[in-house]
Structure 1
Amino acid sequence: MERRLRGAVQRYWKEIQRKCAEEDPKQDGHISTASFLEILQSLNISMTPEQFEHLAGKFDIMSKGCVSYHNFLHHFLLNLKPAETTKTFERRRLPLPITPTSQGVLTKDCVEVMLRTYDLICSSWTTIRRNFLTSDRTRTGSVSVQDFRKVLSHFGVNLSEEEFFHLCSYFDANMTGKICYNNFLSAFLR
């Protein structure tokens, strides 16, 4: 069930996000469970209330009878698990970083920025990675914050100062001025 749901959410995530935002006049990221299930059903994503309760418990997307649609989309679109947790015989799409990195606290604003850039990064991640590699002359797996921003803007990911700060706060928690581009790209790959 979860695999089927993941495929449907990946197909319709923008529509889900738009409809949820319409149902959320306060823009606090929460709507009623009934409204959320109606939105899913309007997109032909069928789910029983019991199945939804199971997912809500597993992913912690409910609080006070409301659904956090940001958390829902985050769990089905973004891969923010550490890179080491892959299957035994599965080939890695991206290598592990040479220098250890630590990720910061994931904020709602950071998730929104990542969701907004999701399609563009997923569609051309290999070319983006090549540009990161060009900027990474020493092959450490990380680039300076300035190079990171330059590569993103080259591909049309134009971020405001605030949005860029949220991304950097997550991917460069220690404020070293370096961002591991493989960690960044793997957040968008499933």
Structure 2
Amino acid sequence: MNDIMTRIREVVNSCLYTVTQEFEDVDYANIKVISKKHFKEIFFKHFMSLPDEQFENLWNHLPVNDFGNLDYHKFLKQFTGESLDVQSKGSQATSPAKQSPSGPPVELAQQLASVTPSMSCEVIEQKLKKDVSKFWKAIEKECKEKDTEKQGEIDAKDFKDILKKFCTIIKPEEFQQLAKKYDIKNTGRFAYNEFLQRLVLSLGPLDMNPQQRMKIPHPKIPMSPGAEHEIFTNLMMRIQPCITKCWKLIRRTFKAYDDTGSGYISLFRFRQALRQYGIIITEEEYYYLCSYYDKHLQGMISYNEFLRAFL
């Protein structure tokens, strides 16, 4: 249950605006509650799939009212630690006088100010993902030529010019959103390494686009990832071309080693399978890969979670 709660917290905090909108869309009476059926659909879509028994256990830990409906404001507050007062559909922002005395007044504009930019960036990144995933090596090469001090960042205008060569044209205001997000040090420069890693790799909470066909199934047992060390992300970027080229064959090999059908195999067999496809990992890289996918030191790795990072 702790791993499930951790996953919920990760998704709520990274996709707060999207999840809130989903709840509001099925709150037809605008009474800040949704049915168990609607919650389950949204949960399976954005968080993870669970067996019925586990879902029932989770439901018993959530803020459900006497009528068996979920109070989604309390749910969001439970996993963000913040008091939410999101504007109702078609209404004006709630005035401070109408706020609940139990928490500080938070108007819609303030709430959206903290989440809208990042959500806008997610949409823009999704738009660019296919082209960036295809041409990321060429993009990286040109960025490194501009990055004479090897800081992992270049002037935002230079990055925009490079992006135009390889990617779908984006609007000036869309690039401004990206430039704001990837100006990590507030110097007006664009952190291209961060950008490429985010678009090429799918690490962190599972957040499937509902229009995308899932290539591999949700994990039966939720994984709580470890820290993303630079050596780990560099490794993942290095092996990305090989993995994406033959991931189906690699997965077939992993499954052949998975005697119990659990979706997990031993770290030894995992490394052995990768060697069959010419993917050699140094001891240092192997250590940080294990730190991410096996942070509890169980000696096992979810091969579906590993492959999902590249798809």
TM tier, smaller: 0.7 to 0.9
| Moved >6 Å (runs of 4+) | none
What is aligned with 1:180?
302
TM-score, normalization by structure 1:
0.85
Aligned length: 186
Alpha-carbon separation, structure 2, partners of 1:26 and 1:163? 25
1:145 counterpart (267, 281, 299): 267
Alpha-carbon separation, structure 2, partners of 1:126 and 1:11? 18
Deviation at 1:49, TM superposition (A): 4.2
Alpha-carbon separation, structure 2, partners of 1:90 and 1:46? 22
Counterpart check, 1:20 vs 2:135: no
Alignment map for 1:102-141 (pairs within 5 Å): 102-141=224-263
Determine helix, strand or coil for the equivalent of 2:205: coil
What is aligned with 1:36?
159
Deviation at 1:4, TM superposition (A): 4.4
Alignment map for 1:64-103 (pairs within 5 Å): 64-83=187-206, 85-86=207-208, 92-103=214-225
Determine helix, strand or coil for the equivalent of 2:161: helix
For the 8 Å contact 2:128–2:167, the answer to whether it is kept is no
Determine helix, strand or coil for the equivalent of 2:237: helix
For the 8 Å contact 1:104–1:170, the answer to whether it is kept is yes
Deviation at 1:43, TM superposition (A): 3.8
Deviation at 1:35, TM superposition (A): 2.1
Amino acid at match of 1:11: K
Alpha-carbon separation, structure 1, partners of 2:183 and 2:229? 17
Counterpart check, 1:171 vs 2:293: yes
By relative contact order (CA 8 Å, sep 6+), the higher-ranking structure is 1
**Larger displacement relative to structure 2 (126-135 or 73-82):** 73-82
% same residue: 34
* Structure of greater Rg: 2
For the 8 Å contact 2:204–2:225, the answer to whether it is kept is no
Alpha-carbon separation, structure 2, partners of 1:101 and 1:44? 33
Amino acid at match of 1:141: G
Counterpart check, 1:162 vs 2:284: yes
CA RMSD of aligned residues (A): 2.3
Question: Is there any run of 5+ residues in structure 1 with no aligned partner, and where?
Answer: none
